Chain A
């Protein structure tokens, strides 16, 4: 008999437990509160901002169309938050998860419980990704609700051309947009997670992931890099716009997903490898 009765490595740190452990945290609640409140803030901003006289012809940017319908509003809300707010949310959930345990010293008690290290990381990243996904999903859904209440349920007007797509046709496209946003955030998630396993500072992990994200965005602006830029993790961030074009174009999202999965797979593998061998001294 080598283990205590009732102990099985496969039963340690159940997802339910980890979800509860993370959920009651203030930063989790604040982040979700912010994501759920943002659409309403935007609605108020649109309602009370000075109304431009109905000059529909010239400007068909995504922001000009935001008040056209709930769907347009949701697309707008996603477009303004995908580049930064959602990245922060994902980096927070994934970067904080292990590092905060280390900073609380609770990591060593979990490991001595013992939760096997691979399993600990597995459960942690599943829950962190779950929270990230919930964050990415809840924003457009709330925006859809807020926008529909504020601006009504109409067909979506496509930015740029001003063509309309039937509302019901575009709902599955919305699913694609959200799904792609999730996949494209995998890089941030994996990077934040990797840093999280290496540091005791939760904000360091979040900040590190954000920092590399910003560097990648800056590099993306260097035209001289040419097609090399296609392999930057941030390059395909806006590819989900293709899902809202009159004709669905998968190529950009396929490339974006490919780049994202590539980075994420390697970063997560490195995280597991490092953590297995790591001396936990926190």
Chain B
């Protein structure tokens, strides 16, 4: 116990020390700055930017990172990420873009004339900071990262400023016009369908927000709104030109050429070809505002100039998803580590996709896999699988006023509620009468869609027809059909005058989605969608498939890095088994060589002559027998000589064995508290003797017997039975029958079953058991077939003695055998024992009853307090007693005498 306590204490101490000395992240301090910049088409507008500069934690000159915030945010929204990057050894500058937070100016949507010029001057500012590493005078080593609005500025700035060395734009747009006026028919924003709801959110967030715009999401809802002026309420902090444009397009739902021109000025795609900074584009799979197609356009434009570009589709975006904050940070840090620090960080492959890896079996949390591909295949995939769709031509109607509208994604809700990472399901809701569906047969093999599927539709109607195409995953179970990522592809087709119908190819939203075996693909074409501006005029159309095949792009090269099983899964059991083997091997009780000894060295003569018991000072008990032979019970157990195995004339029956039945030498056993239970005990028993082991309670008789049976290990000395040293389970014990410290039976079994099963447990032949002889001794009659738990103490005792005599062992060891027996039975037992020894077997009986020993035993060993007091034939002991006092030959007197001497 003490050892265990000490171990626990040491472990606890080690844990605390580790906790204390574990290196905590270095501290980072942010320096608030007001940076004046001049921008505008004529470089005449002065704007104060609210910025915070975080010098790198390590000190010295570090590469710089400009960290841009998203729309509606401010420098505060990226503070955590900035601190993390600064801890990783970057000098980080965060700022509130013009029109946001505490910066002055108006929002110009990352225009080349405004925000881009601001960023150039921020880079100038960085170049003057002593904490920033320079590539050349005025040219700091700098990267830009940011999401959404901040992602676009990083692209724009990299296009206009060659000093930028690496960028990581996230969930951002390539062409703002295309993002707000998408057309699945591929005819550009002029023909696109207005993404009404998202645009409203986007421009609505330009409104002034109290408190520097720190609060976002649900936090913003709890803030009290501030009174606004009429102009503020109308345009917020937008540049008037931008405001006018939005008012115009939102009213009509159509993109004017001027609006497109203005939005394109804020779009990276036109200038992305100039970008020389290696670019990691991270786009969300759950993003109906800036879908994967936007990153595709950016990637193609940047790659066309030969600039290294990688693309990752992660589980997140403006519609929620998990967000994968840590994974995104790792990717960003890896990219900057490689291209800014040059520390050889592995960069992400050209194309990485986050996929659902099912639930972790232990935590039941969703796990994400990140399969990679060495090349980016675009939205068309590396191969195309044609999935036949069937369905008749169906009539659908546009409801008057466009209401009720089908629902695919409710913009802003996912993001507002902090990301709906709990489920990967998106349930679309289509209104009856507004939807035409075309289904595939159940899949016979899983289908991994990566990219934009396309299908050719035939549309009957008049004039302009606004439709929404979506691809469902139908499981045919209790689960509702799943609309991957909640994405729809709007399209506007024009049926030429005079024609009845028009055919058009629809590009469906780009997703990465796995259709399981047995699931069906369902193409749904609706007339309405809540997120989009749809015509108010009621109209009816007929929709059919122009070609039955849905082209599904796949990317076979996207293979998850083989995670395999964790190393410990196989290493741990192997180590444990090795450890177990060591535990077992080192725990083996050392089987000491059988110590040879000379037979003649120790002999208790079976003589009838007088034996003098001398107690000398050293405590060695010596019997001097009448013929002068001296027997020394040795203390040290150190024998010499060899065991002579040749025949001895004196034994013949029942086993032809010449060895001494029992020899104990130097036997010592201490209690836990150090007190000696058996102290240097030595004696031996010859064949045919009935030896009484005599002593008061606590003399060590039972302990000695337990050591004879190998139940407890002696601290010193040894016990030999028929010449063999007794160890736990020593085979020689099979020649010994025992009854020690009460009976031990299985209470639920009958006496007979107990006896028979005990014998069966010895593994010896049933014929050798001599059940009849033994059961006769037990004398239980019919009770033999009752459960032992019903037996009286005496019955159990007799049964136990019978069990000890099973197989007529050569040595019988009985501990207090007459306890609990009635006088006739005691008498009978005495006879049994005498008879037993007469056949040449040996019996050892312990008792604290002197009369018992006197009447049963031929020899006696007297113990007191663990030590041998006297040993020899009972008659000799008696005669010795006679010689010392005059009360007649009673063992009791001898005994008390001996004990008196000792105590």
Contacts and interface: CB of A to CB of B under 8 A. Distances in A.
B745 A104 contact: yes
A17 B803 CA distance: 17
A115 B764 contact: no
A161 B749 CA distance: 53
A1 B580 contact: no
A169 interface: no
Interface of B is mostly: loop
A261 B760 contact: no
Contacts of A252: 360-362
B710 A111 contact: yes
A92 to B, nearest CB: 15
Interface in B729-749: 729-736, 738, 740-749
A5 B768 contact: yes
A21 B587 contact: no
A20 interface: yes
B358 interface: yes
A154 interface: no
B763 interface: yes
Interface string A77-117: 00000000000000000000000000011111111111111
A4 B735 contact: yes
Contacts of A118: 729
A51 interface: no
Nearest to B367: A251
B558 interface: no
A13 interface: yes
Contacts of B1: none
B478 A60 contact: yes
A8 interface: yes
Interface in A112-146: 112-119
A45 interface: no
A249 B358 contact: yes
A164 interface: yes
Contacts of B218: none
B729 A115 contact: yes
B710 A20 contact: no
B579 interface: yes
A255 B768 contact: no
Nearest to B736: A112
Contacts of B817: none
Contacts of B583: 266, 269-270, 272-273
A76 interface: no
Given A272-B587, A273-B583, A117 B478 contact: no
Interface of A is mostly: helix
A106 B572 contact: no
Contacts of A259: 572
B477 A1 contact: no
Interface in B832-851: none
Contacts of A162: 475, 477-479
Contacts of A206: none
Given A230-B362, A269-B583, A276-B587, A112 B733 contact: yes
A258 B572 contact: yes
A253 B361 contact: yes
Interface stretch (B35-43, B195-203, B563-571): B563-571
Contacts of B763: 6-14
Contacts of B731: 2-3, 7, 9, 114
B593 interface: no
Nearest to A158: B477
A116 B745 contact: no
B19 to A, nearest CB: 13
B761 interface: yes
Given A258-B569, A281-B711, A163 B477 contact: yes
A246 interface: yes
A57 B586 CA distance: 61
Interface in A1-53: 1-14, 16-18, 20-21, 24-26
Nearest to A258: B569
Given A18-B761, A113-B758, 12 more contacts: A1-B657, A20-B757, A21-B757, A24-B749, A25-B746, A107-B744, A108-B706, A114-B709, A254-B565, A269-B584, A273-B587, A279-B711
Interface of A: 1-14, 16-18, 20-21, 24-26, 56-57, 60, 104-119, 161-164, 229-230, 235-236, 238-239, 241-242, 245-247, 249, 251-259, 261-263, 265-266, 268-270, 272-274, 276-277, 279-281
29 contacts: A3-B731, A4-B735, A4-B810, A6-B763, A6-B764, A7-B731, A9-B729, A12-B761, A17-B761, A25-B748, A106-B746, A108-B740, A108-B741, A108-B744, A109-B738, A111-B709, A111-B728, A112-B710, A112-B736, A112-B738, A113-B733, A119-B729, A162-B479, A163-B477, A235-B362, A258-B568, A262-B572, A269-B584, A281-B712
